[in-house]
Amino acid sequence: MGANAESEAYLNEMRNGTEEECRLSSLIVILDSSAGSTARIEHRIKIAEQLLYTINKKEAYKREFLSSKGVEACLNVIEDLDSKQLALSCVKILISLLEFGFARRFIQNNGTGTLFQLVARCHSEDRAMQNHSEIVKNSLNLLILAKAKDKGFGLKCVNADGITTLLRLIREPTKVRPTALNLLKIVAGSPSCSREIIPSLQMLFTLCQVNQGKKNTGHVRIILQLIHKAIKVQKKNVTKSLPMLPVVVDLVESWHKYDHRHGGRLIHLRKGFIILLKSMTSEKEGRTKLSEPTILKKLCAVAEGMMQKNEPEQVVRLLITTMQKAIPSISPAIRSANTDTHFEQTQQDINEMPTSHVIEEQYRTFSYFERYFIEETHSKCNDDEWEDDYSGEALTRQVDIVGLDAYSKKSSGSLQDLTQSASELLPRDTLKEYAESTTYKDLCNVIDHGWDQEARAHSNQEKAEISRCERITKNINRFSDGPTLDDINNVLPSCELFGQVPQPPSPMVRTKSMARHNRALQEIEKYVHPERFERKLVYAARETERIGENTEGLLAFDSKFESGNLAEAYWTRDEQYELWIEPDMYQDSHRQWFFFKIGNIDANNRYQFSIMNFEKKESQFGKGMQPLMFSVDEARAGNPHWRRIGSNIMYFSNNIRNKGNKNYYTMSFDVTFPRDTTLVYMAYHYPYTYTRLKAHLNMIRPPENVIFQRQTLCQTLLHNKIDLVTITAAENYSKPISNREYVVISARVHPGETNSSWIMKGIMDFLVSDHKVAEAARNEFVFKLVPMLNPDGCIIGNHRTNMAKFDLNRQWEMPNPNMSPSIYYLKGFIASLNAKGKSPMCYIDLHGHSLKKNAFIFGCDGTGDVLALPRLLNRLPMFSLMNCRFQLTRETCARTVVYRRLGIPRSYTLESTYNGCNQGKHNGLQITENDLCQLGVGLVATIKLLKDYIAIGKGAFGGLGPYQTLSEQKQERGDDSDNSVSEEESEASFEI
């Protein structure tokens, strides 16, 4: 009784507010004393309640409680379990401590194990939890708090048989089930705990059945989350869970049906099942299990129902993507070309491969290239007789070799350096005089608004010239097993004979999400229900005898013409066709360019075309770009033109693998052809054949005061000629040829980049015109143009390489005169310019880019004189300064070798999109052939403007309109897009 009286005194002190004089340690001792009478236990319960009240008042009391071994006392009481009420009070004390972060002593004394033992004992005594629900719920909440502080909680949970205890609690529909589920979800991320959970998946999925889960969908959601965590934590768990995969599919199906009958309010729950299904099929073994037709049929039915009900696109996409990944990979069903041979490659060709990058060792003499300076023979006077105050030759040395004084400081070439305003301005008087000059206004007018040129179809004279050149072009039967030069039989597509009238630009198209899902589901259906599809061959370029009978009423395809590329075509069902394009000749790669003819068209039908074997992971198809169509019927009626056509355009990975074990990509689109159309051509981009180029060059009639000279730089493997075109003004006293700078521009090193040929066409047509700006450019420069560096590849329908399987833009470092002659001789010609002391002001290589919008430049140096040209070009409607990049990459490509080995600072790659622009007045529009020609015109005008700036102020830029900052340019254009390209992205995707 004395002890009880003493404790009552302490209790009274605390109740009376004299906290500073109370001694918690004595109360803790009493609390930790062994069991006694019922009165004694009740007294200890009161002490526990008062301790809880006290430690919640001040943090200092909590610390005193800890230092007095209060945690140990509470754990002892819980472990002894003399009274459930006393144990509950101790659990509440521990919860109060852990809520304020005082968990170290609880962890050190194995509080986790003690609590799990308490829960297990309570459950064994009261399975229905009618009497012990409060103490069990509080114990589980305490464990949840401890998990956040205890790194070894999972292992302790397993050692205390805690997972088994929790699973037993979950099995029964009691009040503690939600708390037990939450704790199990928390520990499911532990590897040791997850291994204990996986064997009980059958029981957990039973709780997710509709008849049980519909009463409390919140429990079902938590179960799905904990199973997902347990599966993800270890790959072994994924494998162990696979026997339950059919059960999950059945749950997806049953909940889908239930939800559709009750208003579709459980979409988030159904999404949880699909996420779980995705996790279970993350490994190959799981995808194989899911690929069973019986399983996929159920999921296909679910996906179709979801799309019919217009359910959230994100959930539909998740389900369809999961099914797509499960479709087993197959090999292509078409005959592959022979990739083991080169065309006429001899041992001598291999022996003549250069072994040094030193120019003097590659070219022993430059005497061969003297023939290409035809402009010097047009000089009628001796340069010494002329009085010339304009030191153009000296300026050339300073600009091209040393660099402009105002921009001699090196830069990293970053966008920040690119957008900095110049620190020096042109002299104000000189600047004002030039800005008001007619020359400057004319240049700006051409750069801003382009050059008005009459758009017309080919005349009869032009058609006759094209037909004549068609017979001269040397082609080869690429579809033969052993093609030789004897196979030459060039056929020109009739669309090139008619010519074309550029059409107004078409807006970029968007494909609705549900259309994408329908198309993806159709691909899955081909695997699940093959009986619904008939794969009938309707065109085979290699083996025409394979074409089946009963093709009447089906489309007729052909690609056996210059630049054509289509290997096989199959009819599948309705008006759906699968198309297969050829790789580059003698290779099994570079599938991108396509160009083929379609006949026997019924304009009342809606056709679906799927090109099955693209190789790039990304494409502008599906991002606004449409393929191109040329109607022969409209051309015969006097309206020849290429137009953008197609809807529901999408680009996605399929289940067909190439020899490198990489998936192909499908480009699918729907077409309804114009009325009365029976014959069309379809192409990746606006075609421009070698025959058309030759005819165009033959038909050029420059003004009398223009030097236009066409020479053969070399011959290709097919003995086609590569032209070197010289354009400049005739000799005159004010601007002698000897004082003019050289500009070298090349195009079409990659055959599939036809946009570069249209840019070059714009350059040539403008330079031989009588426009004032063209005349001024001819007076300042000698233009050396190579319109087509890879005619063989263009003729046979390659996308990237030549007949020797070489990507010519990777041969510049050490070109072979026999296997890559165009690169060898063009590089030698530029080197001969250096040897004559006439280093080009700039070298520009024209390209097309399949992954980006707009036009932009890649350079090698970040100095000011190199950045000047792209900054001026930014005034062009198509040009994007934000996409430009200035750093040394692709060490064997044209711009880098010309910069490093030939010493030309302004060595650029000018890239143009196949799609359209996302800025300026062309924002949201797809480009036309006229836009590309205008880009070439603007390039010429910009080069002339750059020369004027250099002549006036030696490179001090910033005083005139074109040199706005990027923020000003974007504000003026209304462009809010961010087209910046990270180094990682550029290296991964840019193939220049």
Residue type at 672?
T
Phi, psi torsion values for 571, nearest 5 degrees: -95, 135
Bridge partners, 745 (sequence order): 785, 844
Structure token pair of residue 291: 């690929």
Bridge partners, 683 (sequence order): 595, 628
Phi, psi torsion values for 330, nearest 5 degrees: -135, 165
Exactly one of 911, 972, 984, 991 is catalytic; which is it?
A: 911
Which of 693, 679, 565, 669 is closest to 630 using CA atoms? Answer: 679
Which of 122, 158, 161, 163 is closest to 139 using CA atoms? Answer: 122
Q: Strand, coil or helix: what is 626?
A: coil
DSSP H stretches of helix in 172-244? 177-187, 191-197, 201-207, 210-213, 217-232, 235-241
CA 647 to chain centre: 21
Separation between Cα atoms, residue 543 and residue 914, nearest integer Å: 33
Token look-up 């030039």 returns 434
Separation between Cα atoms, residue 742 and residue 746, nearest integer Å: 13
The C-alpha torsion from 864 through 870 and 872 to 875, rounded to 10°, is: -150
638: left (phi over 0), alpha (psi -120 to 50) or beta: left
Cβ atoms of residues 442 and 908 within 8 Å: no
Bridge partners, 598 (sequence order): 557, 680
Which of 126, 159, 122 is closest to 140 using CA atoms? Answer: 122
Separation between Cα atoms, residue 342 and residue 547, nearest integer Å: 29
Token look-up 């263009």 returns 794
Which of 917, 909, 877, 905 is closest to 893 using CA atoms? Answer: 909
Structure token pair of residue 690: 């070698």
911 is catalytic: yes
Structure token pair of residue 950: 């250099």
Phi, psi torsion values for 612, nearest 5 degrees: -90, -15
Bridge partners, 537 (sequence order): 570
Separation between Cα atoms, residue 665 and residue 669, nearest integer Å: 13
Residue type at 705?
N
Token look-up 């007045």 returns 921
Active-site residues, by number, are: 911
